[in-house]
Structure 1
Amino acid sequence: MEPTVAVFDGLKGFAKSTQDFVSGLIHHHDPSSSRNNPIEILKRLQREAFSDLMRLRDRQDKIERLLSIYKTSNKGPFEEAGTRVRGEVDVSGAVLKMDTVDQQNFDALRRAGIRTGVNARFTFETQIRGKDYFVAELMASQKAAEDFTDFSGNLPLSLSKVFYKANITDWFSAAAIPIGAHCRDIGNDSSSSRQGKGLTDNSSLGPPLVSQPPGSAFGVTARKANFMATLGHLVSGLEMPLDPHGIRHIFSTFGQVVCDLPREMKLSIVGVHQIPIISDQRLSLGPFAIPLSPLKRRQDSDVSVISTPGASSGSIAVMLESQLDEDTRIGGWVEMKSSDNKNMKWAIAVSDDSEDEFGWGLCLSGATEGSNRLNRFQVESYLKFNVGKRFTVKPGLVHVMDGSSRITALLVRSNWSL
């Protein structure tokens, strides 16, 4: 009996195992059983959530594109630009020692660049589209007029300069200055700080050809390594009164080449070619209306007689500047008329414009006109005292020898940056 029972139990166990195996295979291939698997449920939920997120992302992109189109169509270039404001108040006074108070000495003071009075300047600079910038300058002045016979007292704040510079590439830029342009503005970066100032215009502004009467200008500048070249056109004298010949506007072609030399030296060659434009004394067409009329003689009692053959002229200047150390700078320039090598102006200046409490400056300048002898010689020296970070005082002496005129001036110039 025991062998029979053992065989029966073995067959029963084999049948049980076979049934379990077949049942496992059937449940493994049953789709309904996979849906109840927790892993499969998580995978299915993940796929559905991902598809929902992608649909939401597509809708968000469509909304953002619509909003960007709406914003760009309704805002100007200055909408998101920040404006930087700078202010400056300059006060100059002088005690003059001269033989007589006459027109000859007045002319000598004008040529020496001695200006007294109050000058306030406010500059608004706005970055446009990253690299471009727009500058507007407002100024109010009480300084003496060019002939020293009139003072522009109590002048209101007026627009003195409008400047726009477009940096097209890293090496090429263009500038447009419809109001208040000088030749020196075309190639310079208007956003940079102003040059160090001495006591007079001769020690502050450089050669006279780059400081012509303001007008309208445009120009282009190209930079390559250590070289920079500038070419521009300027119409100056737009607001000047007519002279006895009826000449009002001066059309100037300006060119400059700058080379950076070793040891912090910079060499500049500047040239200007000028052509006067004739305008009738009784007619004023506005500052931006330029009549191009030929230079000829007209016989009319109501129109002034104009005869200016060969009226065009040109000047060239060479400037050399070196930075001796962090604060000390030495520079000089020579300017000559292209038609007359004997007509020459020059200046040599050394200055220490440190931000410490004490600084100094020295400038020698002169001019030779019509002969080899020295017609004008000028020497000026000053001390600079920094009171805080925004206020400076410069007392100094200026001695001028201009023909038969001998003038000594004690000048005090103060500057306050806002």
Structure 2
Amino acid sequence: MKLRDRQDKVERVLSFYKPSNGSPFQETSTHIRGEVDVLGALLMMDNVDQQKHDAISSAGIRTGIHSKFTFETTIRQKDTLVAEFVASEKGQSDVLGSPLSLAKVFYAANISDWFSAIAIPMGAHCRDVGVATNSFYQRGGLTNYSSHGPSLLNEHRGSAVGLMVRKPNVVASLAQFVSVLGMQPGSIGITRIFGTFGQIVCQLSRSTKLSLMGIHQVPKLSSQQVSLGALAVPVGLFNRRKGPEAVMEASSPPIETHTEENVMAGSIAVMLESELDESTRIGGWLEMQKSNPKHLQWAVTMSDTPEDDFGWGLSLAGSIQGPKSWDHFQAETFLNFNIGKRCRLQPALVYVMDGTAQFPALMFRSSWSL
């Protein structure tokens, strides 16, 4: 609000000197959207050991208060500037959560009807630069499997630039991500991760979409602990000498870290969505993580959630993280009650099987939109 007030003062000053040239912010308004979710869970288990704690995390059961406020401004009648503020729980014992903080800055330039460009200086996710096919999950269930889609869409990736091309039955998106991990154990510099994301969406019929997406990540290690700033990224195109990785391997023995395993490979996912009518949807997705067919996640969801009536949903999901045939499996069913246009209540029953840990859980979510 302070920035907006300063901007209005500058616009009034400039209007005296340039009466004929319009400002990109002239006669525009900022639209504010707010979402507040309160999630709770009753876990039916005797005690919580490390194995059950891992099972809860694998099931994507989130609790606490999650708030998000979005400020959207239209620029030049075609472009969009978005600032997103988020507050979530700090820890297991902090019910009220953290204060609002700036989590994302997003700028979309619609150059033409079929071509657009996106820049995200901070807080980028793959879903921000991808084709908006996850509208199916906006009224979905309460866990990450049933409400968010493939995990590669929701992981934080730092900064990003992307391009999107639209044709009558095909939409394609391509983006480049840059994130900083900082100093890793045993390293001699700062590790940056460069990720390339691509997505193609095909309109198979009037109500059915097929989406293929993937991301490939490569870590780069800076030889010195020098900070160049938030938006300065060194890229070597002409110097072909040995990089810091080779120097480190020659000067010291290898040190095991979790970074290489997590970021060297990428993920590939396929998603299918179909709308049976205005409120009934069925869909599913399959994701192969770390470019390894032994690391799979999947989910199948069906829901009927009309905006002005009682709704329901059913989801089956699971994952394979090794030689086991069923490393994780869960079933979820939820009810949807709309109270007016801005409030929603969702009770749910989730049954989780993760290794030898098995337990049901009663969940409840109350959502308000502002």
State the TM-score bracket (shorter-chain normalisation). 0.7 to 0.9
Write 1 or 2 for the structure with the bigger share of strand. Answer: 2
Which structure is higher in helix share?
1
Report the CA distance between 1:100 and its aligned residue: 3.1
1:71 aligns with 2:19: yes
Shift of 1:281: 12
Task: Specify the SS of the correspondent of 2:58.
Answer: helix
Aligned to 1:141: 88
Q: Which whole-Å CA distance do the structure 1 matches of 2:152 and 2:94 have between them? A: 25
Q: Which amino acid aligns with 2:174?
A: L
Give the TM-score of the pair, scaled to structure 2: 0.82
Residue 340 of structure 1: SS of its match in structure 2? coil
- Determine helix, strand or coil for the equivalent of 1:160: strand
Q: Does 1:186 align with 2:129?
A: yes
Deviation of 1:337 (Å): 3.5
The two structures, once aligned, show a CA RMSD in angstroms of 3.2
Is contact 1:252–1:273 with CA below 8 Å preserved after alignment? yes
2:343/2:367 contact within 8 Å kept: yes
Structure 1 position 274 matched with structure 2 position 214: no
Q: How does 1:17-416 map to 2 (within 5 A)?
A: 70-71=18-19, 76-142=23-89, 144=91, 151=94, 154-188=97-131, 195-236=138-179, 238=180, 244=185, 249-278=192-221, 288=231, 294-296=244-246, 297=248, 305=255, 312-337=264-289, 339-371=291-323, 373-416=325-368
Percent identical among aligned pairs is 52
- The equivalent residue for 1:36 is none
2:61 aligned counterpart, secondary structure = coil
Distance in structure 2 (CA, Å) of the matches to 1:278 and 1:198: 40
Query: Structure 1: how far apart are the matches of 2:146 and 2:340?
Result: 24
CA contact (8 A) 1:161 1:180 kept: yes
* Structure 2 counterpart of 1:217, one-letter code: A
| Ranges in structure 1 where 5+ consecutive residues have no aligned partner | 1-66
Query: How far off its partner does 1:262 sit?
Result: 1.3
Cα distance in 1 between the residues matched to 2:16 and 2:170: 41
Q: 2:266·2:290 contact (CA, 8 Å) conserved in 1?
A: yes
2:201 and 2:163 map into 1 onto residues whose CA distance is: 14
Cα distance, 1:361–1:289 mapped onto 2, change above 3 Å: same
Whole-Å Cα distance in 2 between the matches of residues 112 and 335 of structure 1?
16
Larger relative contact order (C-alpha < 8 A, sep ≥ 6)?
Answer: 2
Instruction: Report the residue type matching 2:306 in the other structure.
Output: S
Offset at 1:97? Answer: 1.9
Looking at structure 2, the residues matched to 129 and 77 of structure 1 have their Cα atoms a distance apart, in angstroms, of: 5
2:7 counterpart residue number: none
Q: Is the 8 A contact 1:379 1:399 kept in 2?
A: yes
TM-score scaled by structure 1? Answer: 0.73
Q: Deviations over 1:246-283 (max 9, x none)?
A: 68543210000001111400000001101134479988
Contact conserved, 2:137 with 2:147, CA < 8 A, in 1? no
Q: Find the structure with the greater CA-based Rg.
A: 1
Structure 2, unaligned runs of 5 or more: 1-14, 236-242
User: How far is the alpha carbon of 1:101 from its aligned partner?
Assistant: 1.5
Aligned length: 343
